[in-house]
Structure 1
């Protein structure tokens, strides 16, 4: 079982989480229960995913609410404002029906709108009220993070960003480390496009593991966290089985050579 990572607010984050993005509504309860049963203790949701009601039902049915860290996110479109963030948070509370949330993120900075600092102040308020334990952001770039910190004095506990061997995000990770922010990867497998890469398949064969396990092990050895998705119970279990091997120096050098800067998702500046 992958370890957990300390957050600057004194809490801990499971290093590997299960994500609900694009899990169909009709499959959400079954898949979430399978993930929880497999051992995932971080469940990464969002209002935008459209399946929070079903996720909440699965969490209640699991009987493991107290063991789980449950995350949601504020989408911010068509309206990005503090008031809308508070309203959307309240809706997620109702849809999930599991009590206080563990983690709430700003899903995208939408920096040209000029509202994300005010939204962040709303999240700080929710944390102070005890309605959410930990607050963070997703898809924020260095300039966005600097502005949050400079204007409010409160750094996000984590920043969830696209990251995989094509896009390691070294500069952003260094900024995070300097400011006590955990890097959490979405699309950690490059949306599956890395699974046939010859370098990675060679490393997987060397360690007698899957390519997905190699990539997730790489994320953990970078010192970060990742959120992975699958609707297949066997893959859910396999993706958690990362303790039996380590990538050696030759492996890490080979993975580093895969960096191209290519994205498989939207660049933050293109999501306004």
Structure 2
């Protein structure tokens, strides 16, 4: 029975999980003009065949607007999914300074995507390129105005620390509904105490890299005994529930009140992840199993896959694997 899982944001809006299609690093392009037809085909097939509401995760620095825009136009022409069955997330590249301002960027993005609004707009990074002549509060104030104008439905941040978020709230009185960070059992806190802070302040964590513990193990880049023990326990639970260990890790992520953002070049992997979790609405790990996964993960050294993007947090490695 298909019963899609949704998270409720602090403003009452609902966001789907885990049917998320990331259009980021795995589809890397040096220029927006370098068209990638495989991404267009992947998105078209997802829009046509995936059940429920799908979540497409985009960003200015991904340079994938042409492909995403073409897929969306094809979708509306063919009538595969209505606008309300598509959740589109976009991000302002504050660090790279690709666009002069959040407003300038979103106006161009909407035109390229042929959309009237985006469902979620994130500040991609707490650092702001000096050439923009804006500080992070200026950026957030533009986000607030765009939400009032209806061009974005929800506003949030990405790669923000506790201090970064508190600064925005103190200066504007407006709290982000989402903080998208690298998160998994081998990187419980991208920055000190960020998991607990977001949970206590009703800020949804969106996890990129939620399957990294499995990916690194299967690639052979993690040869630690802690990694092997973690993988062995996921295999044990997968056998118990009749699913893959990937689905177990996604179910764990959701159990920790974290929305997993996944990506793949293989449609079947996205389909399997979505269908196994949503077609098994009663698949819930026990409290003891969730705690066991957490403790096995915390025994592993902090493992970051995106160090170049968050190099300013690596000095806090000793605090990453603490609850």
Cα deviation digits, residues 105-151 of structure 1 (max 9, x gap): 00111179682221111111111111111111111011101101111
1:80, distance to aligned residue in structure 2 (A):
8.2
Structure 1 residue ranges (4+ consecutive) displaced by more than 6 angstroms after TM superposition: 111-114
SS in 2 for 1:193: helix
Partner of 1:186: 208
Given the alignment of the two structures, is residue 122 of structure 1 paired with residue 135 of structure 2, yes or no? no
1:169-208 maps to which residues of 2 (within 5 A)?
Answer: 169=189, 171-190=193-212, 192-194=215-217, 197-208=231-242
Of 280, 283, 286, the residue aligned with 1:248 is 286
Given the alignment of the two structures, is residue 146 of structure 1 paired with residue 146 of structure 2, yes or no? no
Partner of 1:33: 44
Partner of 1:85: 102
Given the alignment of the two structures, is residue 103 of structure 1 paired with residue 120 of structure 2, yes or no? yes
Partner of 2:179: 159
Given the alignment of the two structures, is residue 67 of structure 1 paired with residue 102 of structure 2, yes or no? no
- Deviates most, 182-191 or 262-271: 262-271
TM-score, normalising length from structure 2? 0.76
Give me the whole-angstrom Cα distance separating, in 1, the residues matched to 2:169 and 2:254: 26
Q: How many residues align?
A: 270
SS in 2 for 1:56: helix
Give me the whole-angstrom Cα distance separating, in 2, the residues matched to 1:8 and 1:148: 16
Given the alignment of the two structures, is residue 228 of structure 1 paired with residue 262 of structure 2, yes or no? yes
The CA RMSD over aligned residues, in Å, is: 2.4
Q: Which has the larger radius of gyration?
A: 2
1:2, distance to aligned residue in structure 2 (A):
4.0
CA contact (8 A) 2:9 2:15 kept: yes
Given the alignment of the two structures, is residue 46 of structure 1 paired with residue 59 of structure 2, yes or no? yes
TM-score, normalising length from structure 1? 0.90
1:180, distance to aligned residue in structure 2 (A):
2.0
1:69, distance to aligned residue in structure 2 (A):
1.0
1:103, distance to aligned residue in structure 2 (A):
1.0
- Deviates most, 241-250 or 49-58: 241-250
Give me the whole-angstrom Cα distance separating, in 2, the residues matched to 1:78 and 1:210: 38
CA contact (8 A) 1:60 1:98 kept: no
Partner of 2:94: 76
Seen in structure 2, the aligned counterparts of structure 1 residues 202 and 194 have a Cα distance that, compared at 3 Å, is: farther
Seen in structure 2, the aligned counterparts of structure 1 residues 213 and 134 have a Cα distance that, compared at 3 Å, is: same
Segments of 5+ residues of structure 2 without an aligned counterpart are 29-35, 219-227, 314-323
Give me the whole-angstrom Cα distance separating, in 2, the residues matched to 1:194 and 1:200: 12
Give me the whole-angstrom Cα distance separating, in 2, the residues matched to 1:80 and 1:71: 18
1:26, distance to aligned residue in structure 2 (A):
2.2
Give me the whole-angstrom Cα distance separating, in 2, the residues matched to 1:23 and 1:80: 18
Cα deviation digits, residues 170-218 of structure 1 (max 9, x gap): 9322211222211111111117225573332232233221121111000
Give me the whole-angstrom Cα distance separating, in 2, the residues matched to 1:93 and 1:112: 23
